[in-house]
Amino acid sequence: MGLAPLDAAVLPAGVRSRFVDGINGLRMHVLEAGFETPGRPCVLLLHGFPELAYSWRRVMTPLAAAGYHVIAPDQRGYGRTTGWDAEYDGDLRSFRFLNLVRDMVALVSAFGYRSAAAVAGHDFGSPVAAYCVLARPDMFRSVAFMSAPFGGPPLLPSGAATPDIHAALAALDRPRKHYHWYYGTRGANENMWHAAQGVSAFLRAYYHQKSADWPGNLPFPLASWTAAELAKMPTYYIMDLDAGMAETVAPEMPAVTPDWLSDAELAVYAGEYSRIGFQGGLQWYRCRTDAAIAGELEVFSGATIDVPSCFIGGRRDWGVRQTPGAFERMQEVACTDMVGCHLLEGAGHWVQQEQPEAVSRLLLDFLSRA
């Protein structure tokens, strides 16, 4: 028997859970709001790692109340969406960015739309949203980036040798490694899925340490992509060389449950990741760091995002600054029609969960202007 939709008891009133078959080989689980009235403009919401469509629950109803049909999928590799390969040695190329874009083109079309008024992407959903509008600006008519700035597509290789950032990080007095490449290792899934503290406690600590609640999140611009500069970031980004992510975040387990993520809400995430593990999401990181796979994005080298765009992030989110210069390049080069760039006080990385009212307000303002 197939998976059931999410229990309505964990969803806000007006949001439903359902499945859509035949989405580029997937049976895609989606959350949906504003579905009662036909003909509404469509807004597509894309989550990041380690999250789910559920991370958008608090902004879906305000968008629907304003007249939009709001669709948030569990993306390929996540949650209740099925049809993807969960093995480390499995079909990695199905997780490459252009196939993730194909997923979204198929999903929008399956709902009967020729275009979406906007696509919003948070965290790893942000670059997927970017390539949606780069590849199909006719279908995705505006874009909102959240927490992860898009500094533009990769440049064509110059032929010049580049320093080995991994060797430089490992050679620091406190040896370090970059979490993107750690997430591509064979042991990363096992480390988090079977963490000594359990999946629920691992996620609680991980979510806490990247939120505004953690006092160590005081980000600032980094000068360059060098080991010395990158090592100024917290260890959940630039990890100790001999540590896994479960051990990295374990000391930061919060003493109290935050207002923005109740125990019942955490249980939704923990239930899904306990069931399927993290490998589906980790495949995205492997595609991003595999030069042969990521190289296909060089076809967009020099291209700009010309549809209306905006950025929403938390002022206490290191994700805004983790790639030196990306925040500035997004505003100055990558996006030619950026109508808003907002850093919210009192928000960290999980901005649409930590500050849902402010995010909803900013998204509605952007949609009205775009």
What is the distance between the alpha carbons of residues 38 and 337, in angstroms, rounded to a whole number? Answer: 30
Q: Nearest-CA neighbor of 125 among 76, 67, 65, 198?
A: 76
> Once rounded to an integer, what is the mean pLDDT over residues 68-79?
98
Q: Is the pTM of this model over 0.95?
A: yes
**ω before 254 within 30° of 0 (cis)?**
no
List, in order, residues 6 or more apart from 69 with CB less than 8 Å away: 32, 33, 34, 35, 40, 41, 42, 43, 111
Please check the confidence at residue 296 and state whether its pLDDT lies above 90.
yes
> Once rounded to an integer, what is the mean pLDDT over residues 85-100?
97
> Once rounded to an integer, what is the mean pLDDT over residues 292-308?
97
pLDDT score recorded for residue 2: 82
For residue 180, which amino acid is it? H
Q: How would residue 62 be classed by pLDDT, with cut points 50, 70 and 90?
A: very high
Phi first, then psi: give them for residue 240, nearest 5 degrees. Answer: -65, 140
Structure tokens at 85: 């390969």
Average pLDDT of the chain, as a whole number: 97
Higher local confidence (pLDDT), 252 or 161: 252
List, in order, residues 6 or more apart from 65 with CB less than 8 Å away: 34
Residue 240, SS3? Answer: strand
> Once rounded to an integer, what is the mean pLDDT over residues 287-292?
95
pLDDT score recorded for residue 158: 79
Asked if residues 47 and 72 have their Cβ atoms less than 8 Å apart, the reply is yes
What is the distance between the alpha carbons of residues 76 and 341, in angstroms, rounded to a whole number? Answer: 29
Measured torsion, CA atoms of residues 140, 141, 145, 151, in degrees rounded to the nearest 10: 90
Which stretches does DSSP call E strand in 113-180?
118-122, 143-146, 176-178
Distance in Å from the first CA to the final CA of the chain: 43
pLDDT score recorded for residue 160: 75
pLDDT score recorded for residue 159: 74
Q: Annotate 13-61 with DSSP letters as a single string.
A: TTEEEEEEEEETTEEEEEEEES-SSTTPPEEEEE--TT--GGGGHHHHH
pLDDT score recorded for residue 1: 57
Which position has the token pair 């992407």?
Answer: 121
Domains of the chain: 8-155+298-369 (3.40.50.1820), 165-279 (no CATH)
Active site residues: 123, 349
